Amino acid sequence: MNLPLILSGAAGRMGREIAALARADAALELVVALDAPGSPALGSPLVDVEHRAGPPVVTELGAWDPATAPAGAVVIDFSSPKGLAASARKLLATRPLPLVTGTTGLGAEEERLLAELAARAPVLHSPNMSLGVAATRAAAALLARALGPGFDVEIAEIHHTAKKDAPSGTALALARSVLEARGEVSAPVFDRTTRGRPRERGGVGVAALRGGAVVGEHTVYFLGEDERVDLTHRAVSRRVFARGALRAAAWLAGRAAGAYSIDDVLG
């Protein structure tokens, strides 16, 4: 039996990547394509990154009724914080379908809605769906524990010019992995230009760069007195995130209500 998919943010870059891979997989069926009000794609068959136009027709998110979704359907959301909040409210009010989302830049309200939905349905939120990034987070935690407090840790990330949030959700997740491995409770440092003092021991600095068409690059620097270790992950195509999202959707189908991450999918 095919897994029915409802894709929110369908006409965006990630949405079109997911659509292309879903159409190539006989075990998946893209049944609903949703996009934001005012999207030029509304009312037309969804065009994927392979420039193939086909069903479903792109529908405005506000007009979609979750009660009409086929049995076993999973929602995949790569829209925006506002779009994700609208999807979560619809699911809470109508029918709590399983939700996979890689949408980043979430605020307290979006986090609250996801937590509320996770009490009623399986919800998987990861700022980065890449298998390589999941392994990088684990490696960063391992290095943080092994190298100890004698090494300062700084993270730099680079993304394309169109990315709106900074720093990236992946950079923040990497920082959390390091801080938790060291037993530190401090928040990452985003801007040292106003601090007016030498770098203190502990903590993690995060720097964001934007330019060109960079899909995503993250480097964790472990800086010692006489040596350093650089841990880098580079994504060369958005397909890596699309594959991860589809794998997560297949894994999430039929799960119990709760909050999950890509780490759960990978075991």
Of the candidates 163, 164, 218, 233, the residue annotated as catalytic is 163
Residues 6+ apart with CB under 8 A from 170: 127, 128, 133, 157, 216, 218
CB 55 within 8 A of CB 45: yes
CB 78 within 8 A of CB 14: yes
The Cα angle at residue 134 between residues 131 and 135, in degrees rounded to 5: 90
For strand 99-101 and strand 228-235, is the pairing parallel, antiparallel, or unpaired? Answer: unpaired
Of the candidates 159, 164, 218, 233, the residue annotated as catalytic is 159
Residues 6+ apart with CB under 8 A from 3: 27, 28, 29, 72, 74, 249, 250, 253
CB 91 within 8 A of CB 32: no
Specify whether 164 is catalytic: no
Specify whether 159 is catalytic: yes
CB 23 within 8 A of CB 30: yes
| Active-site amino acid positions | 159, 163
